[in-house]
Structure 1
Amino acid sequence: MREQWFGELEQLEKDIVDWRRHMHQYPELSFQEVKTSQFIADTLQSFGYDVRTNVGEGGVLADLKGALPGPTIAFRADFDALPIHEENQVPYRSQNDGVMHACGHDGHTASLLGVAKVLSQHTDQLQGSVRFIFQHAEEKIPGGAKAMIDDGALEGVDEVYGAHLASYLPYGKIAVVSGPSMAAADGFSVVIQGKGGHGARPDQTIDSIVVGSQVVGALQHIVSRHVDPLKSAVVTVGVFQAGSAFNVIADTAKIEGTVRTFDPQVRVQIEEDIQTILQGITSAARATFKLEYTHGYPAVVNPPEQADYVRSLVRDSLGEEALQEVPPSMGAEDFAYYLEERPGNFFYVGSQQNEDTAFPHHHPRFDIDERALLNTGRVFLSIVADKLLTPSPEAAPVR
């Protein structure tokens, strides 16, 4: 039956690509995905699904109930875009200037729509249910996952699975990480208040640039000297703004950065270290500071049991050569919230075929080999076939 479903998915390839290209042409930013969510809902309804919209103030849910009772497996796809001006010269390039699907979310949604279409024709063969979670606002904190969960997206669900297209992986490859897979991502913003004055009389000032420079330097010692070398962490300063004239000592400086961790205790420790560093340096310089620390998504942690399970399905359905091991990523994903609530797995699907599909995520030239959309669907269908397909009569034991 699985192979039959694969064939039906392949017959839908043109539709799946068309859905992806439609969403790519008309991208919408996080928390603004009105037309995209309506497109998803309309498409699901055309398959015969009862659809729940505005879940968590933006998401879409649809349930497929099998002929017999059994477990409920959830699949999640996201559908928001990024504030990036697309530089690809393709027929389906973004028509919304300054907004682009530069992370593959259009492909995630198109793949899951294809799976929903195939399975809609086989409810009589299922022992259990499938929940399709189409999530808004993955790219922008606080994200859409937590709000959808709070609004019932995982009620009655036993396991949850998600996929992410990966331009760093060749087409045909599937990568599965066991344990920590993507990092917790926090952000910080600091305003250092000094005392401005003439560049010729620094003794009459409190130089916010000098103080800020000391802070930036000290922050670089957190990971190298405070964090266990066997535990990964990143502290990056991405913004340092101060001053407006060459001969004026700036009274304020602004510093912004990100913290990436896997271990919850390291996450807490680094936040405390940033606070301590700011207090010490500004106090010594007679300056003051204001810190805003934003807790982003938690780490994506794949339970080993489900990771091994997905690996075995990939070997069985796509072949041993399809599996590729990759290290954990310091990128972030709010799929983490689903895995905090239910067992499951978040895997990666290779979408690189040539130089046009090798640009990194969030790049204005990002694009995918659209054949990868079927591979995402094949893994999802394999999970359903393995967990929910009713045994055929010939497979029943003789009594």
Structure 2
Amino acid sequence: EGEQLFELDSLEGPPQGAGLSASQVLSYPAARLFVERAAAAGHRAEITDGDAELLAEICGKLDGIALAIELAAARVGAHGLREIATLLDGRLKLEWRGRRTAPPRHQTLGATLDWSYGLISESERVVLRRLAVFAGPFTLQGAVAVASGGGEAAHSVVHALEQLVAKSLVSARPDGSSTRYRLLDATRHYAMQKLADCDEGRNIARRHARYVQDALGTTTAESSGGSQPSDSRDRAELLADARAALTRAYANDYGAEMRVPLAAACSRLFVELNLLNEGCLWASRALAVLDDTSRGSTWELELQSTLGHAFMFTERNSERCEGALRRGLEIAEALGDSFNKFRLLARLNMFYRRT
């Protein structure tokens, strides 16, 4: 009674890859706090234009969390900016220790998260652990698809997500008529550790891969005759999760049965985003593990089409390009797929006209 809640947003950080100068980067509060705390810890070197992009990267990895910024900045003198950026990719930032005079829960980021984790209900813990498989922003539908089951009903997931947002363990961003959710990087690393400690990690990874596959689906902007800008943005926001799902599927035996359909669903996303080399990589890996059930399927059709399209720009008129386009056309004709038949004929026409 008598208490009031003030919701504090994360500190705004500079955009990455924008080519900003040092003065422009330091106009953002996250970067200013980092430099101030580094100086307070004894680091006297000036931030130059050459350091600007590195500082922007560090601020991005720290998600604007003041405690995380302070803990990382205190170590610049010992490691330097570049090494700090590398160290932030792992779990080490959860263990960095701050001031000894601070309360125990404020001495490390991991201790802060331990304290928060201990205050939430068991249902909220389960949902938080499961949501850690998302590498990027996700929707309410995505949260329910991945986090429900195994004793958690859909309505329980929705309620738990509301509570996690209220307790600042999940961030929520309005996006038109819907909302995008995201775990901050440090929280996601922490929750992934908790997921690894229980016996459901493999099952949740499979659910996540199925969700990505279904979300990207077989109906794309190209095959449906165009899409609204919002649809394209929704698909682009799945890029980080497509990469994470593919990496897990090809790195673990439990993902073997999902490798071909998942790569087929993701392949055209790489083409849409002009990530042709990445599209080639995953299409080639999937084609290398085709079996009797997937050979000649719509999955192989999509993979061969992606490979042929990518090779047209990365290898121009190579034999591999022609072979992929011809194999795709052969499958389209066998399946009676008129749209893809004409699409592949158009690409072959372009191929032969520039020979």
| Same topology, TM > 0.5 | no
Higher helix proportion: 2
Higher strand proportion: 1
TM-score by length of structure 2 reads 0.28
